Amino acid sequence: MLSKLSLACAISVLFAVDAAAQVSYLPGGLLTPGNTQQTSNWRGARRHQMVFDPRAVPAMNGAISTLVLRADETQFATSPVQLDVSVLLSSHGVPLPSNVDLTSYSGNLGSDATVVVNSQRVNLPAGASATLPLAFAQPFPYQNGNPLLVQLEFTPVVQSGSLDPAWMMDAHTLPSTFWGINGATTGTACPAPGAWTVVSDGITDRLLYRWSTLPIGAGMPAFVLLGTDNHNFGGIALPLDLGPIGAPGCALRTSVEAVFGTSTVLGGGFMSVLASVPLPRNPRFTGFDLYAQVAMLDPTANAAGLRMSELQSEHLATPPAPILCSHAYGPFAAGFPNDVPELVARNHTLVLGLQ
C-alpha cells in the first residue's frame, strides 16, 4: 500500500538570522480553513510554478535565505518520506499573476532567476504539520513590491513499502473577494426604459452585466458597449444625439473601448441582455470608472432599427483580495520537452504529496 502524504508548498520566507531567532512568514491567505478539495493525481517527477501577487508576499527586509515545506495538517505518513527537491526563485520582471504565460514556464522567469536549492535529497519528517526548512545555496535578494515566482521540482524517492509513489495535488482556497464596485444609472433609454444589474464575480474574475426591459422577443441581436469616458469619444462630445440617424430620443453615452456581442433572452417577464466582462485584479485600476450601454437591433423601435439603454457606470472602489496564481506544468523528463499547463488555479495554492 502506498503511504499517503500531503506536502503543502507553504512558501515561508525566513530571514538570514540565527536559527533560534528565525520566524516563518506565510503568503496572505495560505492557511485559510477548509482546504480539502483534491484535484488530481500524478506519478513521477514534477515541476510546479507559483506566482505570488506582491500583496500576498509579506513585507520583509533583507534577502530570503530559506524555504519551508509544511506537511498537511492531516497527513498519514508515520515515517519520514524522502524527496529530491530543487528550487528556483525569481522576482525582477516576473509578470503579475493575471499576465503569466500559460503555455511555458520559461515565459515567466525574471531577470534575477536563481537556483537557490540545487537537486537536494531531503527527509520530510512524519506527523501532521511537520516542517522542513531548505537552506539556500545563496540568499535571494527579494525586493518588496515585486511578484515572487517560486519554481519547485519534486521527485519522490521509492522506499521499501512505498513502491511507485504518486503525487497528490490539492487546492487550497484563498480569499476570492473581487472588485468592490459602486454603480449608478444615468440618462434615458429609448424607446422604452430598462433596469441595470451588475455583479462583481470573484470566481471567474468578471463583472456580470444585465440590462432588462420590455419582453419584446428572444434572440434579438444586441451589443454591450464598454468604455472609460462618458464625456468624449474620439473627439466627439458625449452624449451624442442619435436622432439625426433615425433614432429620436436615443443617445450614445459612453466611449467604446470594447464591444460584447450577445442576444436577448426572455425570463421573469423581461427581455434581458447579458454580458460577462473579464477584469484584471491589478490594484492600479482602483478608482477607475467603467461605463456600459446596450445597443439592440430592433426594426420595430424606430427608423434606425435601434434601441439604446440607459448608461450604467461602475466605480472600482476597493481592490480585490491579494491573490496567488499557481500553475502546474508537465513532467520535465526528456520525453516531455514542452511544459503544458495542467492546472491553472486563480486564488488557489497547491498542496503536493505522495499517496
Residue spans of the domains in the chain: they are 5-176+321-354, 180-318
Q: What integer is the mean pLDDT of 147-168?
A: 65
Could you tell me which residue, 89 or 161, shows the higher pLDDT?
89
Q: Which of the two residues, 114 and 337, has the higher pLDDT score?
A: 114
Which of residues 104 and 129 earns the better pLDDT score? 104
- For residue 284, name the pLDDT band (cuts at 50, 70, 90): confident
Q: How far apart are CA 86 and CA 201, in angstroms?
A: 37
Q: How far is 153 from 9, CA to CA, in rounded Å? A: 11
Give residue 36's pLDDT. Answer: 36
Residue 92 confidence (pLDDT)? 93
- Please name the residue that has the C-alpha cell 505518513: 77
The radius of gyration of the chain's CA atoms, rounded to the nearest angstrom, is 26
pLDDT at residue 306 is higher than 80: yes
Report the percent of the chain where pLDDT is more than 70: 64
Whether the per-residue pLDDT at 319 is higher than 70: the answer is yes
Q: How far apart are CA 286 and CA 331, in angstroms?
A: 39
| Distance in angstroms (rounded) separating the CA atoms of residues 165 and 3 | 8
Q: How far apart are CA 212 and CA 196, in angstroms?
A: 7
Q: Is the pLDDT higher at 315 or at 282?
A: 315
Cell readout for 49 is 510554478
- Check residue 101 and give its pLDDT: 75
Cα separation, 306 vs 308, whole angstroms: 7
266 compared with 164, residue with greater pLDDT: 266
Residue in this structure with the C-alpha cell 424607446, named with its chain if needed: 191
CB 45 within 8 A of CB 153: yes
Q: Where does residue 216 fall: left (phi above 0), alpha (psi -120 to 50 degrees), or beta otherwise?
A: alpha
- Show the cell assigned to 266: 426572455
- Ramachandran region, residue 153 (left: φ > 0; alpha: ψ -120 to 50; beta: rest): beta
- DSSP secondary-structure letter at 161? T
pLDDT in the model for residue 241: 97
Q: Give yes or no for residue 51 having a pLDDT over 60.
A: yes
What is the torsional sign of CA 70, 75, 80, 83? negative
Strand order in the sheet with 148-156: 114-124, 81-90, 148-156, 46-52, 324-329, 343-346
Look at residue 130 in the predicted model and tell me its pLDDT.
65
In tens, the pLDDT along 73-115 reads 555 556 677 778 888 999 999 988 777 776 677 888 999 999 9
Tell me what the pLDDT averaged over the chain comes to.
Answer: 75
Taking a C-beta distance cutoff of 8 angstroms, is the pair 32, 95 a contact? no
Closest CA to 188 of 307, 100, 89: 307
Lowest mean pLDDT among 95-104, 111-120, 193-202, 332-341: 332-341
Length of the chain (residues): 355
What is the rounded distance in angstroms from the CA atom of residue 315 to the CA atom of residue 313? Answer: 7
Whether 200 has a pLDDT exceeding 80, the answer reads: yes
Helix (H) or strand (E) holding 169: strand 166-173
Read off the pLDDT of residues 216-234 as tens digits, 9 standing for 90 and up.
Answer: 999 999 999 999 999 999 9
CATH topology for the 180-318 domain: Immunoglobulin-like (2.60.40)
- In the structure, what pLDDT confidence band is assigned to residue 55 with cuts at 50, 70 and 90? confident
